[in-house]
Protein backbone atom coordinates (compact mmCIF):
# COMPACT_ATOMS: atom_id res chain seq x y z
CA UNK A 1 0.00 0.00 0.00
CA UNK A 2 1.22 3.38 -0.92
CA UNK A 3 0.05 6.04 1.58
CA UNK A 4 1.89 8.99 0.06
CA UNK A 5 -0.48 11.79 -0.94
CA UNK A 6 -0.65 13.00 -4.49
CA UNK A 7 1.27 16.23 -5.10
CA UNK A 8 -0.89 19.34 -5.34
CA UNK A 9 -0.57 21.47 -8.42
CA UNK A 10 1.01 24.88 -7.70
CA UNK A 11 -1.56 26.58 -9.95
CA UNK A 12 -4.43 25.18 -7.86
CA UNK A 13 -2.86 26.43 -4.62
CA UNK A 14 -2.34 29.87 -6.11
CA UNK A 15 -5.95 29.95 -7.38
CA UNK A 16 -7.29 28.99 -3.94
CA UNK A 17 -5.09 31.61 -2.27
CA UNK A 18 -6.52 34.29 -4.60
CA UNK A 19 -10.10 33.12 -3.90
CA UNK A 20 -9.57 33.25 -0.14
CA UNK A 21 -8.01 36.71 -0.40
CA UNK A 22 -10.88 38.02 -2.53
CA UNK A 23 -13.43 36.54 -0.12
CA UNK A 24 -11.67 38.17 2.83
CA UNK A 25 -11.62 41.56 1.13
CA UNK A 26 -15.31 41.30 0.19
CA UNK A 27 -16.28 40.33 3.73
CA UNK A 28 -14.29 43.18 5.27
CA UNK A 29 -15.84 45.64 2.79
CA UNK A 30 -19.31 44.31 3.64
CA UNK A 31 -18.78 44.75 7.36
CA UNK A 32 -17.49 48.30 6.80
CA UNK A 33 -20.54 49.14 4.67
CA UNK A 34 -22.90 47.80 7.35
CA UNK A 35 -21.11 49.80 10.05
CA UNK A 36 -21.26 52.95 7.90
CA UNK A 37 -24.98 52.47 7.26
CA UNK A 38 -25.64 51.97 10.97
CA UNK A 39 -23.68 55.10 11.87
CA UNK A 40 -25.50 57.16 9.24
CA UNK A 41 -28.93 55.82 10.25
CA UNK A 42 -28.42 56.16 13.99
CA UNK A 43 -26.94 59.66 13.80
CA UNK A 44 -30.05 61.13 12.18
CA UNK A 45 -32.00 63.54 14.34
CA UNK A 46 -35.18 61.90 15.61
CA UNK A 47 -38.46 63.59 14.71
CA UNK A 48 -39.71 66.10 17.25
CA UNK A 49 -42.53 64.90 19.46
CA UNK A 50 -45.36 67.23 20.48
CA UNK A 51 -45.13 68.64 23.99
CA UNK A 52 -48.82 68.19 24.79
CA UNK A 53 -51.58 66.23 23.08
CA UNK A 54 -55.16 67.07 24.00
CA UNK A 55 -57.31 63.97 23.74
CA UNK A 56 -61.12 64.00 23.71
CA UNK A 57 -62.72 63.36 27.09
CA UNK A 58 -62.68 59.71 28.12
CA UNK A 59 -60.03 58.71 25.56
CA UNK A 60 -56.96 56.80 26.71
CA UNK A 61 -53.92 56.61 24.45
CA UNK A 62 -52.57 53.14 23.66
CA UNK A 63 -50.25 53.88 20.71
CA UNK A 64 -48.61 56.79 18.91
CA UNK A 65 -47.27 57.19 15.38
CA UNK A 66 -46.27 60.11 13.18
CA UNK A 67 -45.73 61.26 9.65
CA UNK A 68 -44.04 64.35 8.25
CA UNK A 69 -46.98 66.73 8.77
CA UNK A 70 -49.19 64.79 11.19
CA UNK A 71 -49.18 62.51 14.19
CA UNK A 72 -51.76 59.98 15.30
CA UNK A 73 -52.89 58.55 18.59
CA UNK A 74 -54.66 55.20 18.85
CA UNK A 75 -57.09 55.11 21.75
CA UNK A 76 -58.35 52.23 23.88
CA UNK A 77 -61.86 52.63 22.40
CA UNK A 78 -60.57 51.68 18.90
CA UNK A 79 -60.26 55.15 17.42
CA UNK A 80 -57.37 56.74 15.56
CA UNK A 81 -57.04 60.46 16.21
CA UNK A 82 -54.98 62.25 13.56
CA UNK A 83 -53.56 65.66 14.50
CA UNK A 84 -51.87 68.41 12.50
CA UNK A 85 -48.21 68.59 13.53
CA UNK A 86 -47.92 72.40 13.23
CA UNK A 87 -51.16 73.44 14.93
CA UNK A 88 -51.86 70.44 17.16
CA UNK A 89 -55.50 70.49 16.03
CA UNK A 90 -57.47 67.29 15.53
CA UNK A 91 -57.80 66.74 11.76
CA UNK A 92 -59.53 63.37 11.64
CA UNK A 93 -61.18 60.88 13.97
CA UNK A 94 -61.29 57.37 12.50
CA UNK A 95 -63.34 54.62 14.17
CA UNK A 96 -61.81 51.20 13.61
CA UNK A 97 -64.64 48.81 12.73
CA UNK A 98 -64.73 45.05 13.19
CA UNK A 99 -62.55 44.83 16.28
CA UNK A 100 -63.41 42.67 19.21
CA UNK A 101 -62.31 43.30 22.74
Quick: pLDDT tens for 5-64. 888 888 999 999 999 999 999 999 999 999 999 999 999 887 777 788 888 888 899 999
Q: Is the pLDDT of residue 99 over 80?
A: no
So what's the pLDDT on residue 44? 84
Where residue 80 falls among pLDDT bands split at 50, 70, 90?
very high
Cα separation of 61 and 91, whole Å?
A: 17
If one compares 99 and 84, the residue with the highest pLDDT of the two is: 84
H helix and E strand count, the chain: 1, 4
Amino acid sequence: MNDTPQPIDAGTVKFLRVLVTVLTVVMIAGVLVIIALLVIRLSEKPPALPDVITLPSGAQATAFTQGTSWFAVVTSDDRILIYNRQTGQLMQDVKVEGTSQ
